[in-house]
Structure 1
Amino acid sequence: MDLDNEGRLKNVLWVDSCSRATYQYFGDVVTFDTTYLTNRYGMLFAPFVGVNHHGKSILLGAGLISSQDTETFTWLFQIWLQCMDGIAPKSIITNQDRAMKNAIAIVFPETRHTFCLWHILKKVPEKLGSYATYKSGLKTQLMKCVYDTQTIEEFGKCWAEFISTYELQENGWLESLYAEREHWVLVFLKEHFWAGMSTTHRSESMNAFFDGYVHSKTNLKEFVEHFDSALKKKIENENQAEFQSFSGTIPCISRSPIEKKFQLLYTNTKFKEVQQQVIGVLDLDPSLLTSDGVMKSYLVEDEVRIHEYSKQVTYYVDFNVNDCSTKC
């Protein structure tokens, strides 16, 4: 607990033993969000959330804070880090809050920090919707820069072309985004592990879980009691998912030894994701381009859809008949 000079409660953080134990396994990537709930005392609910091997959101600690300044976030992060035996997450996802960014730099200097991509793109209609070209190419070109560039150089070129084509040199919002591009553009983040997350939706799904247990009129004593009840229910659901995953096996859909390996190693939830990839490969229709002795080259086309943006992907695959090796 963090008290002011008169002994009144300013901020509080609690991390139960289950969250501490879970963090040892699933603490690589953490999301942190303060947008869910403000209680009757004007304190913000601030959960630390991760994801487990069933793809489910897990609570790694939670706080109630009285303000959103650098000092408060620094206190919260430092105490949380102590609870986690001084082991900082490898990556953390937050919104674009400036004070939050400053505190992360102080407490987690080695942690890779990214902004919630969904929150950024949600502002696109508000910030750019007034332009006449918004629906006739501007939005598509922006999405292409974000999702379709494969190198940092390619992104820089694409962004410069985007700004020039639509005469956006004076747009302050886009200028600020470009200045912090390393914190949100996918090409800058692809070398890091994000556990399948690029947004704070994990925090938001955790927030939704607490609906029905706590609300803005809940007093502090009731909040702690109801929070404890919600945690017990959460642990019960996780135990049930664990039992279901290891009490039954999902059949393979191919004869691939790779799929079989994943079947043995992964939980059912994650194995289903692998099978979606397998189905995608089975649906592909490769066409032979060239044949030179033992080397055959194939053209493989696929379509990838991300949110509202769709793109065609082409792979060139070389296959060695003698040693059955491929190069893509």
Structure 2
Amino acid sequence: MPPKSVAELLLAGAGGQDDPIFDPIDHEMNLTSKRAWNMMQEEAESFHRYFQNKKLKDPSFVYAVQLDVEEEMTNFFWADEKMLVDYGDFGDVVCFDTTYRLNKDWRPLVLFFGINNHKQILVFGAGFLYDNTAQSLKWILRTFIKAMSGKTPKTILSDKNAILSEVISSELPETQHRLCTWQIYQNALKHLNEVVVSSDSFSSDLCGCFLHLDEEDFVNSWKVMLDTYSLWENEWLRGVFEEREKWALPYSKHIFSADIETAFLSECSITSLKKYVKHESHILQFVKHFGRVVNDWRYKELEANYDMGQHVPRLMGDVIMLKQVREIYTPIIFKTFHQEYEISLNIVINQCIDAVSSVEYKVSTYGEVRHYTVLYSLEDDLVACSCMKFESGGILCSHALKVLDYRNIKIVPSRYILKRWTRDARA
């Protein structure tokens, strides 16, 4: 970030950049009420002192504090330089995790997550909200966006919360808002703890329900789960299913999510934070553990980048399109594309409807009844499928690939290669 923007955010009445005293207190957005939750003795001071030391060692470290009506430190936000850089590269989709605030035995942690071009978790920022009002949520969202130089995400995912939904709508009016299936999954494990304990397969079956892009597949998978574990009478699951249009993938295919839920569902390190957020643990013990978890994720990215430079995915045969994207995509994205390409070999074109400037194709998998509609523009080679896999995940689907091949287009048009999935995503 430019030093000036950091100063404008955090130097409030401290005398400017040359002043040795760094004041992160947000004097413009004090709460109008007393903070909702009590802190442990000297907790706020420990936090503030720790962040001050971090700032002295690393001038790029960002933190901010919100005061309540009695001028007591209440809410905290922090992000290091790497988080700011990561957001600049991959901040198009953000998960705003507030689930820790729902448990009174834990400190009210909030986290901003995303994923990189290897579909690995990135942390963009973190905070503690010792107040549960809309004013506090507005403050931390506003502080987060300011810290990120005003860049807003295309899509933000959050937990089910009416107040939070209103705050996101008012603070990020141009950002698409969805309920996060990963957070719903976490809540399901809590509400259905007896089933989780008694069955080794329930968690994976529940997770599988969240990964279907087709509505029919999703509904059938959900019904099978209810049958298998005798959960038809479960009120919590019934309520979740009634709101499926707000979170299930088949109903939000038009919203770009970078397939972020899949990455979260396969990552267990996030849940390991829980035992350190408990009140009996010292606050600095959590902050240091949190730093270790973040560093572990960053090391995984270094390993993925190294492996990517050392190994090239193998190809069976000499396929021009696969050779093209192998050099462009990261290995995990190439693997996904390769799977779609293989599926496209079993796609058949059932019908072609010509128009003045476009052609509409009805396609289906060989031997299956279900069909998809692919629209191809004759003027600019645009291709769009009714499954909307590209719109939601940024990778062309098997149906679109079939039509491109049918039109004798042997390489992926550049408009369908998102930079965020490429080897040079950070360039």
* TM-score bin, normalised by smaller chain: 0.5 to 0.7
Secondary structure in 1 aligned to 2:270?
Answer: helix
2:155 and 2:175 in contact (8 A); partners too: yes
Q: Which amino acid aligns with 2:87?
A: Y
* Cα distance in structure 2, aligned partners of 1:320 and 1:223: 52
What displacement does 1:69 show?
A: 2.6
Q: 1:195 to 1:214 in 2, by over 3 A?
A: same
Per-residue Cα deviation, 1:90-113 (whole angstroms, up to 9, x for no partner): 100112201111110121111000
Q: Tell me the residue number matched to 1:109.
A: 173
Q: Tell me the residue number matched to 2:113.
A: 49
Q: Tell me the residue number matched to 1:293.
A: none
Bigger relative CO (Cα 8 Å, ≥ 6 apart): 1
What displacement does 1:226 show?
A: 2.4
The structure 2 residue matched to 1:86, chosen from 150, 157, 176, is 150
**Aligned positions of 1:204-283 closer than 5 A:** 205=268, 207-208=270-271, 210=273, 215-282=278-345
* Cα distance in structure 2, aligned partners of 1:236 and 1:256: 34
Per-residue Cα deviation, 1:164-193 (whole angstroms, up to 9, x for no partner): xxxxxxx9x989987x78744656532332
Q: Tell me the residue number matched to 1:313.
A: 370
2:351 and 2:363 in contact (8 A); partners too: yes
Q: Which amino acid aligns with 1:314?
A: H
What displacement does 1:321 show?
A: 11
The structure 1 residue matched to 2:215, chosen from 133, 148, 154, is 148
What displacement does 1:227 show?
A: 2.1
Q: Which amino acid aligns with 1:72?
A: S
* Cα distance in structure 2, aligned partners of 1:285 and 1:33: 39
* Cα distance in structure 2, aligned partners of 1:32 and 1:206: 17
Unpaired runs of 5+ in structure 1? 127-142, 150-170, 291-296, 304-310
* Cα distance in structure 1, aligned partners of 2:328 and 2:150: 30
* Cα distance in structure 2, aligned partners of 1:233 and 1:321: 42
What displacement does 1:204 show?
A: 7.1
Per-residue Cα deviation, 1:14-54 (whole angstroms, up to 9, x for no partner): 11110100111100000111224789985311110001000
* Cα distance in structure 2, aligned partners of 1:202 and 1:83: 28
Per-residue Cα deviation, 1:202-245 (whole angstroms, up to 9, x for no partner): 69755235467655432222222222232222222221111112
Unpaired runs of 5+ in structure 2? 1-64, 193-209, 217-234, 353-360, 374-398, 411-427
Give RMSD over aligned pairs: 4.6
Q: 1:93 to 1:200 in 2, by over 3 A?
A: farther
The structure 2 residue matched to 1:71, chosen from 135, 139, 142, is 135
Q: Tell me the residue number matched to 1:3.
A: 67
Secondary structure in 1 aligned to 2:288?
Answer: helix
1:214 and 1:227 in contact (8 A); partners too: no
Q: 1:276 to 1:212 in 2, by over 3 A?
A: farther
2:364 and 2:371 in contact (8 A); partners too: yes
Q: 1:259 to 1:11 in 2, by over 3 A?
A: same
* Cα distance in structure 1, aligned partners of 2:87 and 2:277: 24
1:32 and 1:203 in contact (8 A); partners too: no
1:31 and 1:48 in contact (8 A); partners too: yes
Q: Which amino acid aligns with 1:301?
A: T
* Cα distance in structure 1, aligned partners of 2:255 and 2:366: 25
Per-residue Cα deviation, 1:126-175 (whole angstroms, up to 9, x for no partner): 9xxxxxxxxxxxxxxxx9xx9438xxxxxxxxxxxxxxxxxxxxx9x989
Q: Bigger CA drift: 197-206 or 272-281?
A: 197-206
Q: Tell me the residue number matched to 2:387.
A: none
Q: Bigger CA drift: 4-13 or 78-87?
A: 4-13
TM-score by length of 2: 0.53
1:29 aligns with 2:93: yes
Higher share in strand: 1
1:29 and 1:89 in contact (8 A); partners too: yes
* Cα distance in structure 2, aligned partners of 1:38 and 1:181: 21
1:27 and 1:50 in contact (8 A); partners too: yes
Secondary structure in 2 aligned to 1:265?
Answer: coil
2:156 and 2:176 in contact (8 A); partners too: yes
Secondary structure in 2 aligned to 1:78?
Answer: helix
Q: 1:288 to 1:76 in 2, by over 3 A?
A: closer
